[in-house]
Structure 1
Amino acid sequence: MSSQPPPSSSTDYLFVFAEAHNEFRVPELRSIAELHGFSIHIKYPWDSQSSDNREGNAVHQFVNGPFMVIALESEAHARTLASRCILIRSIWEFWARGSSYDELHANNLTAKPKWERYVANTSFKFLVAGHNRSISQRRQREIMESFSYMDFLGLIELKSPEIVLGYFEEYVSDRGKLVEDRNKDGEFIQAYFGRLIVEGTARALIGKFDVKKREYFGNTSMEAEISLLMANQTLASPGKIVYDPFMGTGSMAYTTAHFGAYVFGSDIDGRQMRGKAQTPGVLRSARQYGVADRILGLCTFDVTRNPWRTGGLFDAIVTDPPYGVRAGAKRLGRKTNREDKHTFVGPRAADEPYIPPTKPYELSALASDLVRLARYLLKPGGRLVFFLPTVTDEYRPVDIESMMCDGMELVANSLQDFGSWGRRLITIKKMTSEEYGPPSFDSEERDAASAGGEEEGGDENAPAHKNFREKYFQAFMKKQ
């Protein structure tokens, strides 16, 4: 959301969004606008219905309803957003809105210069829809007839009209209300009116990347819609190189590659990427989506002991780190500093592979390390995009600030709410061209600090995502 006023030559558009992932809408719009080199200017809802959440320099506009009025410099920009943003259902040239019929019609008369050119000889279709309320056929006819003052002389064409006129009513949700307290016809929050510019086409990709239809997937595979949203946050486009350090079954690789990026993946457990067939599972699914030639490589290594000997390699890093609900994060090493005398029973057979010991990788430590690794590996302007689970009641903005480092800036922080807990899609941008060395990963000292204190008396300064696995199974699962 730009803090500058929109250019005088801009046009207002009514955006109709899918009724899901409300907090992801503005970050996605801003990301795709940045990718294509233009700005968006949100005009409605205003600050009275927005949340100014100052975490770093990130400002978020959270909207419950599916409608938003945005100023753009050209209709081409609207079409670009509709073709790439996963959450857009349709975009309309905005003509009027109002909190009552009289107010809406008065504003529509004021907007006559926008629609009078269609009056004489333009075929049209009228669409009437409601949010949180269905509108009966009788009322739809009444609403259409209330616009008779526009004097449209063209034919009504339901199959292939030259223009589509859209009228939308937004109501407060009736969920949990008694019958007598539910919404009455016409008692809407706002009504909107305009001309259809373009239907959102990117949402069709959700079906294409549906995990259930995928050649290879696992119980931790990310759902298609979220994977696409993450890919958009990376600004994936042809020629860019994206890295997933916790690749698993490759959900983020397919969507970023679909948008033209080349992808490199790694994981401490190569079995997640390979599967059991001769051809690695990730490559089989990539071939299914026609992007196998954009998978640069798959490697098995511990990200804390990575092979990267130079930084500035990647345009983006996108990942969903394991946080212990289905699978926990691991790193190489023993669980204690003491050598376990029972580790080796005897010499290994010649054909027996060596499996190095691993220990848990505590989430708050992983998150901080990931930000520092991104600062090292990203090109200037590159983005780190990852999910961070958190306890809803314990979360504070300082939780994100605590894992930041010099040269990195928070771009977006969007919550997917599951009630007692949620996961936050964090987008961080490398703002410096200064060269930083690889992170040390703080090894033994940081691991010891993560394991102590918290479990005994609690640390008031600890982020809500620290020891998330223990909190989830001790508290959340008991409620089920």
Structure 2
Amino acid sequence: MDAAVAYCESKFIGSRVDMPAYLLIFAQAHPEFRLPELLSLAELHGFSISFDPNCDTRCPFLVCELALEEHARILVQRCILLKHVYEFYAQGATYEEMHAANDANSRHLWTRYIQDTSFKFVVSAHNHTIPSWRHRTIMEGFGYMGFLGEINLKSAEITLGCFEDYETTEGKAASPATRDGQFRQVYFGRHIADGQARSLIKLFDVKKRLYYGNTSMEAEVSLLMANQALAAPSKLVYDPFCGTGSMLYPVTYFGAQSYGSDIDGRQMRGKGGSDAPPGVFKAAKQYGVVNRFVDLCTFDVTQNPWRCGNLFDAIVTDPPYGVRAGAKRLGRKKELSEEKKLANIEHQRSARNRLEPYIPPTKPYELSALAIDLVLLARYLLKPQGRLVFFLPTVNENYEEVDVHSMLCEGMTLVANSLQDFGSWGRRLITIRKDTDVLYPPPNLNKEHAPSERVPAHKDFREQYFAGFKT
């Protein structure tokens, strides 16, 4: 999250010159993912968005500045975590403070609606339920605005919203009656649009998908990853740990072409004969995007077939980290004796002669080594300004910022690092951008990694998970 705020501060805050202000209201989920998604979509559509870099990311209300109202409408069409957008009029720690600011600073915005515009009020709160008797008191407090139009609760021409923000009640015994009116801030504005992208969560619901597995990513998070990857028409996106294709369905839905690979082709194919279409293609056909799947291939990503770089606009993936399925690479845990090597070669030759499939042996792929290799591979395969988006599980108690920064290499810049907290552990959505035009050679992903100065919180994650994260 800190990387996203720093990016906002350096890129956008300097552009705040009399830009219209808007109140964004988010869904109460994934609070650390909100700002990175906003910044990514603003970059994708080529406009600036500015807000207080020190804002509380846990608060679902965000006041930001956009050059045009059309930019706000673009955000609600694509932003998964955005529920509503209001033209911002005022805010305050008390109603007196908010009304004073509304009358002094926003009169030029709402006076155009006074004469003949039908209207209605919406009153709501975060972390609290406002009693019905106080709704009328709140609405009557805006009498000084002098609206002369009809009050129409069903089809008003404009909707005015008033929102109170309360602290969380988690771990506190205060009753609703005691808390009522003890809000942190109250916000007021005119409704512009409702979020449209959240309906995609139901569309991509894994339970309704024709083909999925026990490691398929949930719909909401895969959509967020597609936005972080700036998925759009004319772009090519790659998932090197494709599995059942959860990462690729949203990016293709947003117009991108996709390519997937996995060391285990059975994950992509699913059950069925050799003539049956792969399971991934079945689900892609369900979403009407099968024509945007370039291909699916089976190979070990450390011994990949890519012979030229700068191919992809984005790499989006959820590397296996061993809880439900472990990462694998070609090789053996223990070296064979010369006698067994010869026997193995003879077995392979015999299998080829009988036209039988030969399944090569695999060995575990430790997560910290995988993460470093993934960044190196992304630097080689991505086009300039292309993005790598992936999940990194970490032990919360042991995590430090250096754990992510130590994975970076020359030419790769951290854009966002957002935590999805599960208590003793969490998974971090990492977004890295390729900030170089240099053509790097193919990385050697089979060499041993030098030991780091400290043990990162994601090293040997599988072992730590099953040990209950005990020291």
* TM-score of the alignment, normalized to the shorter chain, above 0.5: yes
Once residues 175 and 309 of structure 2 are traced to their aligned partners in structure 1, the CA distance between those partners, rounded to angstroms, is 64
In structure 2, give the amino acid aligned to 1:403. M
Query: Quick one: which of 414, 439, 445 aligns to 2:443?
Result: 439
Residue 275 of structure 1 deviates from its aligned partner by 0.3
* Alignment partner, residue 56 of structure 1: none
Structure-2 change in CA distance of 1:340 and 1:223 (3 Å): farther
The answer to whether structure 1 residue 466 and structure 2 residue 459 are counterparts is yes
Aligned residue number for residue 121 of structure 1:
116
**For the structure 1 residues 182 and 154, does the alpha-carbon distance in structure 2 shift closer, same or farther, using more than 3 Å as the test?**
closer
Equivalent residues of 2:83, 2:195 under 8 A apart: yes
Letter in 2 for 1:464: A
Q: How many residues align?
A: 452
1:325 and 2:329 correspond: no
* Mapped partners of 1:148, 1:191: distance in 2: 17
1:475 aligns with 2:468: yes
**Residue 29, structure 1, aligned to residue 38, structure 2:** yes
Note closer, same or farther for the CA distance 1:82–1:180 as it changes in structure 2 (3 Å cut): closer
Deviations 1:177-223 (A, max 9, x none): 12469852211000000000111101111010000110100000000
Residue 150 (structure 1) shift:
1.0
Equivalent of 1:82 in 76, 86, 90? 76
How far apart, CA to CA, are the structure 2 residues paired with 1:310 and 1:338? 34
Contact 1:2 1:39 in 2 (8 A): no
- Give me the whole-angstrom Cα distance separating, in 1, the residues matched to 2:186 and 2:174: 23
Structure 2 residue aligned with 1:299, among 293, 297, 302?
297
Distance in 1 separating the partners of 2:436 and 2:208: 41
Q: Which residue of 1 aligns with 2:431?
A: 427
**Secondary structure at 1:203's aligned position in 2?**
helix
Please list, as runs of the form range in 1=range in 2, the aligned pairs for 1:2-13 lying within 5 A after superposition: 2-3=9-10, 4-13=13-22
When residues 340 and 186 of structure 1 are mapped into structure 2, their CA distance, relative to the original with a 3 A threshold, is farther
For structure 1, the residue ranges without an aligned partner over 5 or more in a row are: 51-62, 451-458
Match of residue 4 from structure 2: none
Q: Which residue number in structure 2 is paired with residue 385 of structure 1?
A: 389
**C-alpha contact (below 8 Å) 2:16/2:50 kept by paired residues:** no
Which residue of the other structure, out of 198, 220, 232, is the alignment partner of 2:227? 232
TM-score for both structures, normalised by structure 2:
0.92
- Cα distance change on mapping 1:339 and 1:22 into 2, 3 Å: farther
Where do residues 74-473 of structure 1 align in structure 2 (5 Å cutoff)?
Answer: 74-110=68-104, 111-179=106-174, 183-277=178-272, 278-339=276-337, 347=347, 348=350, 350-443=354-447, 445-446=448-449, 461-473=454-466
Amino acid at match of 1:22: P
Kindly indicate whether the alpha-carbon contact (under 8 Å) linking 2:229 and 2:316 is maintained by their aligned counterparts in 1.
Answer: yes
Match of 2:3 in 1: none
Residues of 2 paired with 1:166 and 1:220: CA distance? 41
- 1:251 and 1:68 mapped to 2: Cα distance? 30
Q: Is the 8 A contact 2:259 2:295 kept in 1?
A: yes
Q: Distance in 2 between matches of 1:384 and 1:184?
A: 44
8 Å CA contact retained: 1:6, 1:71: no
Q: Which amino acid aligns with 1:238?
A: P
Could you tell me which amino acid in structure 2 is paired with residue 41 of structure 1? S
Q: Post-superposition shift, 1:268?
A: 0.1
Task: Call closer, same or farther: CA 1:8–1:179 in 2, change over 3 Å.
Answer: closer
Which string of whole-angstrom CA distances, capped at 9 and with x for unpartnered residues, describes residues 256-289 of structure 1?
0000000000000000000013110100000000
Over 3 Å counting, the alpha-carbon distance change for 1:7 and 1:351 in structure 2 is: same
TM-score (norm 1): 0.91
- Which whole-Å deviations, capped at 9, do the CAs of 1:370-395 have from their partners, x for residues lacking one? 00000100111101000001010111
Q: Secondary structure at the match of 1:127?
A: strand
C-alpha contact 1:126 1:166 (8 A) present in aligned 2: yes
Residue in 2 aligned with 1:57? none
Shift of 1:462: 1.5
CA contact (8 A) 2:129 2:176 kept: no
Deviation for aligned residue 1:293: 0.3
The answer to which of 137-146 and 348-357 deviates more is 348-357
User: Which runs of no fewer than 5 residues in structure 2 stay unpaired?
Assistant: 1-7
- Over aligned residue pairs, what C-alpha RMSD do you find? 1.9
Q: How far off its partner does 1:68 sit?
A: 0.4
C-alpha separation between the residues in 2 aligned to 1:92 and 1:219? 40
Q: Deviations over 1:341-370 (max 9, x none)?
A: 678588455243211000000000000000
Q: Which letter maps to 1:317?
A: I
Comparing 342-351 with 14-23, greater Cα deviation is found at 342-351
Give distance in 2, aligned partners of 1:72 and 1:98: 21
Q: Is the 8 A contact 2:302 2:446 kept in 1?
A: no
